[in-house]
Structure 1
Amino acid sequence: MNTSNVTLVSNEKSSEKDYKNLIITDAVSVISATTVGVSDLGFDPSKSLYIQTGRVADVPLLTAPSKLQVDIFNADGTIAYQSIRARRSSGSCTLTNGGDHELIATEYFFGPRDPIIHLLGNEAMDIKTTSKLFSRSHIFALPDGRKCNWEYKKVPDLGGQGKNSTAVILSVDGQAVAALIRNEKPRTLGIIKSCNAGDGGELILSDSIDEKSGISEEIVVASCLLMLKKEADCRRMVDCSVPSNVAG
């Protein structure tokens, strides 16, 4: 099928470009951080977490994913965080420390309104996020005004195999501080290689991720999960719109 013949909900050129990038990226297998060089990522890796999302890419648009819990593991296999939805009909979720301590609540809304990240605890505050239709990139601002952006970037020769690959990079004021890497090793069990929308992977953190820098590990994890949900939602929207548009 020629994607250029598909009429999207939005006729803007930017939306068409985002749609094409969505299809292309889903067919890309990203090399694991075990073979990624420091220069590839743009920062010094200091820690890795592993996100186990479950299979969400093949769930129809009007059907909510049945799994209510997403586990995030440390490198030694212990639970670092858990993201829990209260019910299947809601996308809103709460990030915990793997126990009873609630860290961050992410609130989703029906329609085009962007999610809000609520920081819980003694320094409770809200972080608003913004994104575009059919775009999986997500932007949010830290309390001190710095701009954070999850976006998809081509990485030359990622893993030393002579091929350009795609990674999901979190930058703060243009400086990369974290990256989500996906390949067969960290890929969520049951996810087919050619379709990784919403799939978890290895979340690599730089040494600048800490409370003192203003962007905590918890915020990185919560915003990464938000980005993955946006990715899966975009994939389902595309899957639902393509058959009807082609038929018309």
Structure 2
Amino acid sequence: MSTTIVADELHTVPSNSSLPTSSSATGIELADISPSTSSDSSPAPPAYDQTTTVTPQDTEAVPSSDGGPEPSSPGDFFTPTVHLQIETTGKQWLSLPLGTRPDPIAIYHVEAGSWSAESVPAYVSLRFSRNDGSCHLLRGDDASQTPVCTTLYRFGPGKPPIFRPSQALAPFHVPTPPASSGSSSTEVSLQEEENGHHEVDVSAADLQIVSKSLTSRTQILKTPVGTFQWRYATRKERATVPGADQLLVCELVQTVALAGGKKTEENKTRIAQFVRGKETRTRGTGRTTAGNGGRLMLDVMRWADSKDGRREAVEVLVVASCVCMLKKEVDRRRMQQMVILAAGASGGA
């Protein structure tokens, strides 16, 4: 019976390496090993950096309470390489169902497990106005305030948010079509009906984040660098992340062919998670606050060696889409408040 060993990586053998020298010994005497001697002689486990979080990753999809996948066995591991702190107060339960103030959302780099509000943010999200959820994502150290991604919210049902990444990001660069007086296949003009906003051009480089279903909070984002899925983690998944009262998971969804090539299945790999707990959520907010800030962790090592700017593009998209998920939480909270007020008004009539 033969055994096949599949290696994850191929390591290059130096040209100057030589085969190991054979030992001339004809016999080896093994010392007796007892449980007591084994435990005494074993070295202590290595110390790990507290800023690195390792979380079981998805290997097999099974139904969860939100209609999304749940990891059934800890196969690979999620090892974040980028830690960011998103600071936003969100929306409290005891408040009117109005839009939140357009305060800038600062996003800081977390180093050695800590961050400072006095430091220069890695990113800043700026909303257009209180009644408009559209926003620009800027780099905190960019004096020109050039957006790396713009999120556009359109009024009306069936109009999901649009991400417009900067053309400076290589994977999203689209050649400018020649000027034409007629309609273009890569540009469609949509009339904004809310507050009399001007027309917004939706180009081929724009990306839409859509709900997986009418009853699911899971969001799907298809991009040139891959398909991403944001979903709310199950209780079992939250238990694997220390200090996580709330956990949002972003996965890279890949379609792979099964043996024979006639069937396919989706392979989901966790590339980011947004953790909110006592030590990570924005100060002054609690577990019942909707859309409040927390700790965003990303694993972008699979794109580290790419020469076309994919690593930077993935980080920008994950940050922008995470802010969008917080905006959706605020919108749901406002809808819940409206329903409660309407029920109270009808009951008192």
TM-score (norm 1): 0.74
SS at match of 1:198: coil
Residues 241 and 73 of structure 1, relative CA distance in 2, 3 Å threshold: same
Q: Is the 8 A contact 2:90 2:293 kept in 1?
A: no
SS at match of 1:235: helix
Distance 1:55 1:156 in 2: 21
The residue identity in structure 1 corresponding to 2:218 is S
Residues 200 and 136 of structure 1, relative CA distance in 2, 3 Å threshold: farther
Residues 23-64 of structure 1 show CA distances to partners (whole Å, capped at 9, x for unaligned) of xxxxxxxxxx96954326841111100000123244533x22
The reply on whether 1:60 has 2:153 as its aligned counterpart is: no
Residue matched to 2:153: 108
Residue matched to 1:143: 224
Distance 2:135 2:242 in 1: 38
Residue matched to 1:197: 290
Residues 233 and 94 of structure 1, relative CA distance in 2, 3 Å threshold: same
Deviation at 1:159, TM superposition (A): 4.3
Distance 2:137 2:312 in 1: 18
Distance 2:139 2:232 in 1: 28
Residues 213 and 66 of structure 1, relative CA distance in 2, 3 Å threshold: closer
Distance 1:209 1:130 in 2: 25
Deviation at 1:171, TM superposition (A): 0.5
The residue identity in structure 2 corresponding to 1:120 is S
RMSD of aligned C-alpha atoms?
Answer: 2.8
The reply on whether 1:88 has 2:150 as its aligned counterpart is: no
Distance 2:248 2:102 in 1: 23
The residue identity in structure 1 corresponding to 2:294 is G
Distance 1:55 1:153 in 2: 20
Residues 184 and 232 of structure 1, relative CA distance in 2, 3 Å threshold: same
Distance 2:319 2:289 in 1: 18
Residues 117-172 of structure 1 show CA distances to partners (whole Å, capped at 9, x for unaligned) of 0011332621111125564322110125x3211000121533468xx965100011
Q: Is the 8 A contact 2:91 2:333 kept in 1?
A: no
The reply on whether 1:73 has 2:167 as its aligned counterpart is: no
Deviates more, 1:128-137 or 1:33-42: 33-42
Higher helix share: 1
Distance 1:151 1:47 in 2: 20
SS at match of 2:81: strand
Distance 1:160 1:103 in 2: 32
Distance 2:319 2:238 in 1: 25
Deviation at 1:184, TM superposition (A): 1.5
SS at match of 1:196: coil
Q: Is the 8 A contact 1:57 1:198 kept in 2?
A: no
Selected match of 1:239 from 317, 328, 337? 337
Distance 1:215 1:201 in 2: 22
The reply on whether 1:224 has 2:322 as its aligned counterpart is: yes
The residue identity in structure 1 corresponding to 2:227 is K
Residue matched to 2:81: 46
Q: Which has the larger radius of gyration?
A: 2
SS at match of 1:114: coil
Deviation at 1:198, TM superposition (A): 0.4
The reply on whether 1:183 has 2:277 as its aligned counterpart is: yes
TM-score (norm 2): 0.54
Unpaired segments of 5 or more residues in structure 2? Answer: 1-49, 59-76, 175-204, 254-267
Distance 2:280 2:222 in 1: 29
Tell me which of the two structures has the higher relative contact order, counting C-alpha pairs closer than 8 angstroms and 6 or more residues apart: 1
The reply on whether 1:158 has 2:252 as its aligned counterpart is: no
| Count of residue pairs the alignment pairs up | 211
The residue identity in structure 2 corresponding to 1:141 is K
Residues 147 and 214 of structure 1, relative CA distance in 2, 3 Å threshold: farther
Distance 2:206 2:214 in 1: 22
Distance 2:252 2:229 in 1: 7
Q: Is the 8 A contact 1:147 1:172 kept in 2?
A: yes
